[in-house]
Amino acid sequence: MEDKKGILKKYFGYDRFRPGQEKLIDGVLSGRDVLGIMPTGAGKSLCYQIPALMLDGITLVISPLISLMQDQVRSLIQAGVKAAFLNSTLTPRQYALALERAKEYRYQIIYVAPERLETPGFLEFVHSVRIPFVCVDEAHCVSQWGQDFRPSYLKIREFVESMEPRPVVGAFTATATAQVRRDVVALLGLRSPITEATGFDRENLRFEVLHPRDKAVELLRLVQEFGNESGIVYCATRKGVEDICALLQQEGISAARYHAGLEEDERRRNQDDFIFDRVRVMVATNAFGMGIDKPDVRYVVHFNMPKDIESYYQEAGRAGRDGEPARCVILYHGQDVRLCQFLIEHGGEGAGLDEETRDEVRKKDLERLRQMTFYCTTSRCLRQFLLQYFGEKAPSYCGACSNCLKAAPVDVTLQARRLLLCVQQSGERFGMRFIALLARGGEEALGDPRVRRGHLEELPAFGTLPDLPETCAIKILHRLIEMDCLVQTEGEYPVLQLGERAQRVLSGQEKVMARLFAKKNPSAASGRRAVSQKPERQADPVLFDQLKRLRAKIAAIQGVPAYIIFSDAVLSRMSAEKPKTRAELLAIPGIGAAKADRYGERFLEIINRKS
């Protein structure tokens, strides 16, 4: 039997493992349960695919979405691995045929939806074959505190423990807080699992939060800036998807839509158009994306703020899966908070839960929304904010996020104190923009009927910050909320109230620092920027284009997405190194023996002709 490194090279084309992979693979092969928490693009799938190729029997991969199964199986078959999926896209005859082949051990890996675990035919199959390993992908779905809770995942433990002998269980996810990790171990019944968390940092991603006056104008600018590159635009509602997709199409941009209100055929067709590069932009709700392995997505824009950081990091992580630079942008407006609150209250996520549990879930959702709002309004380094949320230490300056690309933090303690006094003296009953108005004073404030009615112009704090721009006042107020000096109430008309630490600022015990202005030369923030500081590969652009055309031709004949043949990163490396022989081709990361045998000669022919 081949060893793990031989399989890594033969089927997947890599000479060495990435951080964390080997530990988890060794754990499975030694008969231990494992828990892998690895960011999108870090190679989680190899942690269960390689053991599956070494163990005697069939490995089951429990996966929540059809698109994920199909994409993974397509990639495995291209790599020379015998794999299949069992889901609702198969006709009864296809399903029965797949089960018969599986009983003959003609597959090494089978992907299955959690709902399938309870069906009699599948259970009969499971108990008639050797299944040494069960992998649970997107394992955070088992936790009601996770962002993608799926009640069907709660059945997995019973299913596994009904098998004799009990198989090794592996659980994998890209995003999991400490509470979710504990739930994964307990609810899946993992037995003293070997745990590996490789870190959440994606160095090639640049995180940005923009506060545009007109979101639609800013979105068009971003999409046009990326030209023909692939991108995803997330909207909070179906109507938002319809409106934004129509806007992009009116501007001549190739875009498709995806949300749960569309017919299944259209959803599938639009998803395929995006994956096969027939459209360049997918406009979608969060119903789109889980399990989409398209590696060349260069940007993800959230037209509305997501409800929680876990969802955001997972959705943003669909950019740059090939390791190349990519951007993750949120277009923020204060109304996004109220929209998220409405969706939490009326979204129906608590269906099937008792009233007490539903109330606990709602409270947890609102707390996660509070953290998401902090992220969108903070002046801190965005990368540090994200990593600290997931329990990792991180430097306070990354040099690449939209906040770090602004000027250095300045001391705004005096301004913060005067804003706090405005809140206090006005009775803690007004919202953010009105407090900013009171502090700035002037004719605009005196003309406001609320000021005249309440004689608020007589407050000592009124007009004490006449030269402070409104945008800066708002940023300072957001910073005070983040510091727990202010609390913003929930509801349709949120107001500001003094928080636990307000007196520390008012008494001079604590300073307030905030980034208020952009750098004078903002050019560093434009376009795509490699965050990881890795040297650029000197790819031959003409050869790269020729290789892409060959790849597109092969993909069309094979009926698979172009990246399934070779990723852009592999083609870039080919065009830079210009391999002349099969052996040199195999030295390029990402090219395994099966692909070299199947496609190598045609790519080498173009490279040698160019040389």
Q: What are phi and psi of 232, to 5 degrees?
A: -120, 135
**Which residue did the predictor score with more confidence, 318 or 356?**
318
pLDDT of residue 534: 40
pLDDT at 519: 54
**pLDDT above 60: residue 75:** yes
pLDDT at residue number 397 = 86
Greater pLDDT, 271 or 536: 271
Q: How far apart are CA 479 and CA 379, in angstroms?
A: 7
Do the beta carbons of residue 593 and residue 575 sit within 8 Å?
A: no
Sequence-ordered list of residues with C-beta below 8 angstroms from that of 540, at least 6 positions apart, any chain = 575, 576, 578, 610
The pLDDT assigned to 526 comes to 36
Q: Residue 355: pLDDT band by 50, 70, 90 thresholds? A: confident
∠410-411-412 over CA atoms, to 5°? 105
- Average the pLDDT over 91-104 and give the result: 92
pLDDT of amino acid 379 = 86
pLDDT of residue 167: 97
Q: So where are the chain's domains?
A: 4-197, 205-389, 410-517, 541-610
Q: Would you say residue 104 has pLDDT above 80?
A: yes
The CB-side HSE value for 390 (13 A sphere, CA atoms) comes to 27
Q: Is the pTM of this model over 0.75?
A: no
Q: Residue 408: pLDDT above 80?
A: no
* pLDDT of 527 higher than 70: no
Q: Is pLDDT at 241 greater than 50 in this prediction? A: yes
pLDDT digits (tens, 9 = 90+) for 267-277: 989 998 999 99
What's the confidence (pLDDT) of residue 145? 66
What phi and psi, each to the nearest 5 degrees, are found at residue 495?
-120, 165
Question: pLDDT band for position 333 (50/70/90)?
Answer: very high
Query: Which one has a higher pLDDT value, 68 or 381?
Result: 381
CB of 275 within 8 A of CB of 292? yes
CA atoms within 13 A on the CB side of 211: 17
Fold of 205-389: Rossmann fold (3.40.50)
The torsion angle over the Cα atoms of residues 242, 243, 246 and 247, rounded to 10 degrees, is -150
Q: Do 31 and 107 contact (CB within 8 A), yes or no?
A: no
pLDDT at 294: 87
| Alpha helices per DSSP H over 79-166 | 92-103, 120-126, 156-161
Task: Give the pLDDT confidence score for residue 353 in this predicted structure.
Answer: 66
**541-610 belongs to which CATH class?**
mainly alpha
Q: What is the token pair recorded at 342?
A: 């409405």
Can you tell me the mean pLDDT for 161-172?
Answer: 95
Three-class SS string for 267-287?
HHHHHHHHHCCCCCEEEECCC
Helix/strand/coil for 256 = strand
In a 10 Å sphere around its CB, with 0-12 CB exposed, 13-18 middle and 19+ buried, how is residue 176 labelled?
buried
Mean pLDDT of the chain, nearest integer: 89
Residue 201 corresponds to which tokens in the numbers above?
A: 């940092």
Q: Report whether pLDDT(538) > 80.
A: no
Contact by Cβ (8 Å): 156, 135: no
For position 246, what pLDDT does the model report? Answer: 97
Tokens linked to 444: 């605009």
Mode of pairing for the β-strands spanning 410-411 and 513-514: antiparallel
pLDDT of residue 522: 41
Give dist(CA 113, CA 143) in Å, integer.
17
Q: What is the mean pLDDT of residues 238-247?
A: 96
Least confident of 111-120, 330-339, 358-367, 369-378: 358-367
CB 319 within 8 A of CB 233: no
Fold (topology level) of 410-517: Arc Repressor Mutant, subunit A (1.10.10)
pLDDT: is 185 or 540 the higher one?
A: 185
Least confident among 116-120, 224-228, 291-295: 291-295
Query: Residues 220-247: what's their mean pLDDT?
Result: 94
Dihedral sign computed on CA atoms, order 528, 335, 432, 386: negative
Percent of all residues in the chain with a pLDDT value above 70, rounded to a whole number = 94
Distance CA 426, CA 443 (A): 18
pLDDT given at position 147:
59
pLDDT at 523: 39
Distance CA 297, CA 319 (A): 5
Do the domains at 4-197 and 205-389 have one common CATH topology? yes
What is the reported pLDDT for 274? 93
Q: Which two tokens stand for residue 8?
A: 């890594």
- Which pLDDT does position 364 carry in this prediction? 85
Q: Is the pLDDT of residue 151 over 50?
A: yes
The Cα 37–Cα 41 span in angstroms is 12
Q: Which fold, 4-197? A: Rossmann fold (3.40.50)
Across the range 421-429, mean pLDDT stands at 95
Asked if the model's pLDDT at residue 556 lies above 50, the reply is yes
Span 474-480, average pLDDT: 91
Please, what sign has the CA dihedral across residues 98, 100, 103, 105?
A: negative
Q: What was the pLDDT predicted at 180? A: 86
pLDDT in tens, 7-50: 999 999 998 998 899 999 999 999 999 999 988 777 889 999 99
